[in-house]
Amino acid sequence: MMTDSPASALLAWYDVSRRDLPWRSHPGAPADPYHVWLSEVMLQQTTVAAIAPRFQRFLDRWPTVADLAAAADEDVMAEWAGLGYYARARNLLKCARVVAAEHGGQFPSTEAELATLPGIGGYTAAAVAAIAFGQNATPIDGNIERVTARLFRIETQLPAAKPEIKTRAVSIAPPDRPGDFAQAMMDLGATICLPRQPRCLACPIQTFCQAQKAGVAADLPKKAPKKVKPLRQGRAYWLERADDQVLLRRRKPKGLLGAMVEFPSYGWSDDEAPASIETLASEWFAVTPPVVHVFTHFRLELSVLCGRVTDAAAPEDCFWRPVDQLGDVGLPSVMQKAAKAAIMGD
């Protein structure tokens, strides 16, 4: 067994210690792109343990991407309940339909093509390309970021360190097993190279790890110290109607973000959304983590709550707009972040 490089040592460990996850293929078999894509989209918002049974239920119901593409919107929305928010399920469906209609039911295999599909960002495109198609793509999630920063003792603070981390991770990714390498790094970060207390004695790449040698493993990656500003917390309500419209509100003409359009929000400024807003949907799901936005004099943590209604009259000062026209209403950047969180989960 060749263990003369971090990648070979890591892959040798992965071959015997990999996590058994329902979307993974058996050793030596290529992973199904539909499974990889579905799991990555689900994982963007919650944990592996929470996802596993839901993933299987989804697959039992829609075994292929073509089956999912042909599903009724409401069935998918209902199956998605509890997994976060419906905008992501809608994007999932949109993506499945584009794959079915424009790609003959087969996911494209390159990172660049995958990134053009609805709801697929840079990380997911790289993950699917590497894991399902063996392409030389290197997805960087939080686990891979941490392992790489420690392996190479990258002392630069995040987020400035991101390009260096990416370059380093790419430099050690083996061209013959890029998907297994990415998953091995993810597994190492999730089980051994833990954020606060890395278990270096159990680590298969310990002999290569510069942070461990220097005794600074637990201190990396470094994060820029946060400037202390007062913290305010609030809520924004992303309410979707069955005809793909979302509820907006025009803020008061004066004051913070005066006269600007927002998702009705509450708790962080003196211009509060109507109290009745929460009664409009029977269930609300919080996007995690909250949206963070720094204003000149304070830092805002805005919880984005997502709900769905069949129909409802807009409360005072509120109005409905199609989701695909949100780019035209001039949302302030904090609300653009809220929209991105509701739609993309980040």
- Of 212, 265, 269, 303, which lies in the binding site for ligand SF4, with binding defined by CB under 6 A? 212
Strand ranges for the chain from DSSP E = 231-241, 245-250, 261-262, 265-266, 285-294, 299-309, 318-322
Using an 8 Å Cβ cutoff, are 182 and 130 in contact?
yes
Residue (197 or 333) nearer to ligand SF4, CB: 197
Binding of ligand SF4 by 150 (CB under 6 A): yes
Closest alpha carbon to 177 in 4, 7, 3: 7
Stretches 31-39, 61-69, 210-218, 332-340: which one binds ligand SF4 (CB under 6 A)?
210-218
Cα 173 vs. chain centroid, distance in angstroms?
A: 22
The nearer residue to ligand SF4, 25 or 210, going by C-beta atoms, is 210
Residue count, binding to ligand SF4 (CB under 6 A): 15
Least distance CB 52 / ligand SF4 (angstroms):
25
CA distances to 43, 145, 173, 282, 345 from 148, rounded to whole Å, are 21, 5, 11, 44, 24
Applying CB under 6 A, among 217, 287, 302, 342 the residue interacting with ligand SF4 is 217
Catalytic residue, candidates 40, 111, 145, 240? 40
Residues 320-339 that bind ligand SF4 (CB under 6 A): none
Rounded CA separation 289/81 (Å)? 18
Pairing assessment for the beta strands 245-250 and 318-322 based on DSSP bridges:
antiparallel
Q: Is 40 a catalytic residue?
A: yes
* 125: contact with ligand SF4 by CB under 6 A: no
Residues contributing to the site for ligand SF4 (CB under 6 A):
147, 150-151, 192-193, 198-200, 203, 205-206, 209, 211-212, 217
For the annotated catalytic residues, the residue numbers are: 40
